[in-house]
Amino acid sequence: MNLELRHLKVVCAIAETGSVTKAASQLGLAQPALTAQLQRIERTLGGPLFDRDRRGARPTALGELVLSRARVLLPAMKGLQDEAARLAAGGGQDTMSRYRIGAVGGPVVAHLVHRLSEAQPDAQISTHASYYISEIAGMVLAGKLDYAQVGVCGDALPSAEYGLVWQTIGVDAVCVLMKEDHPQAKNIEVDLAEMADEAWVAGAGDGCFADCFAAACARAGFAPRRVLESDVRNCVDMVELGLAIGLCQPTFRPPAGLVSRPLRGAPLRWRLVLGWHPDSPAARSASKLMDHAQEAYIDILARNGPYTEWIRSQPQHLAAA
């Protein structure tokens, strides 16, 4: 006889109830039938699984070994059956039960996770953060992540060398982060040429943004006198302390005392994209996740009333995006 999952259920039922008679009742079997089945299981495994007397049935050392394995295998098989049922119910096309999302900065992931959790309350969702697209994309390629949500400069997309499919969530005009009492803060937008004497701070990362910023400053007629690079928290602190003004996305929510303003003419743009491997299981759910990501992006932009009004009044700035 080959050992099957139903046999493990029998062993667990006897251990849990402490009695063959009670286990038979729980399993809906006649007590003699269950006793015969237990004997066949014991012959297959090579020894008794329970010491049985008037006080009930207690696992032997061999029984404890079998129980320890059964208590792992049975829940695992139940989980497999549940996931298979969910996948089958979704037609096998656009439903996953686990989402592993990597991200490089920006607030989209939090709102994406929120929307995904509401749509699939039973889904397992995990996130991973990095400063570098190459790290996140490499983890997707290696199967350690399902999706990569990253930002890239201007009209670019992440390198094709990663082998991922990339789709655009949204494109922003890069904004200036400054103290609310800064002379330029009273304006709806900021002319980059008028910021020639400022020191600047921006978040760390890879890509061409630093070069594009330098080029935009050159077109405006100056070279930035100082550019600092740090994590988001230190960038905010430096702006609050008056050490520099920052570069940020309009989706960034400034803390009290700071404001963000778009650069006139949108000389710098930031593209938010979602990536996945085309041959991975994640590709089945990519369309649905893109919908959630774009809805999340719209939700975030709605918090920045001045920026959305600026876009409506000057749509040409992002028309080519």
| Residue 112 pLDDT class (50, 70, 90 cuts) | very high
pTM (whole model) above 0.75: no
Mean pLDDT confidence for 125-137:
90
Its sign, for the CA torsion 301, 306, 307, 313, is positive
Q: What dotted CATH number matches 172-269?
A: 3.40.190.290
Tell me: domain 5-89, CATH 3.10.270.10, correct?
A: no
Indicate if 172-269 has the same CATH topology as 98-169+272-309. Answer: yes
Q: What dotted CATH number matches 98-169+272-309?
A: 3.40.190.10
pLDDT at 94: 53
Alpha carbon distances (Å) from 315 to 73, 149, 267: 58, 25, 14
Q: What is the pLDDT of residues 209-221, one digit of tens each?
A: 888 899 999 999 9
Cα–Cα distance measured from residue 214 to residue 148, given in angstroms and rounded to the nearest whole number: 27
Alpha carbon distances (Å) from 218 to 62, 194, 209, 224, 225: 78, 13, 14, 9, 12
Cα–Cα distance measured from residue 268 to residue 211, given in angstroms and rounded to the nearest whole number: 11
Return the beta strands (E) in 104-250 as ranges: 124-129, 147-153, 165-173, 175-179, 200-203, 227-230, 245-248
Q: Which two tokens stand for residue 46?
A: 């090579």
Residue keyed to tokens 């994309």: 137
Burial letters 140-159, b for 16+ CB under 10 A, else e: bbeeebbbbbbbbbbeeebe
Q: What is the pLDDT of residues 152-191, one digit of tens each?
A: 887 777 877 788 999 999 988 999 999 999 999 999 999 9
Cα–Cα distance measured from residue 293 to residue 128, given in angstroms and rounded to the nearest whole number: 16
Cα–Cα distance measured from residue 120 to residue 60, given in angstroms and rounded to the nearest whole number: 43
- Is the model more confident about 95 or about 102? 102
pLDDT at 80: 78
CB-count exposure of residue 233 (10 Å: 0-12, 13-18, 19+): exposed
Break the chain into its structural domains and give their ranges.
Answer: 5-89, 98-169+272-309, 172-269
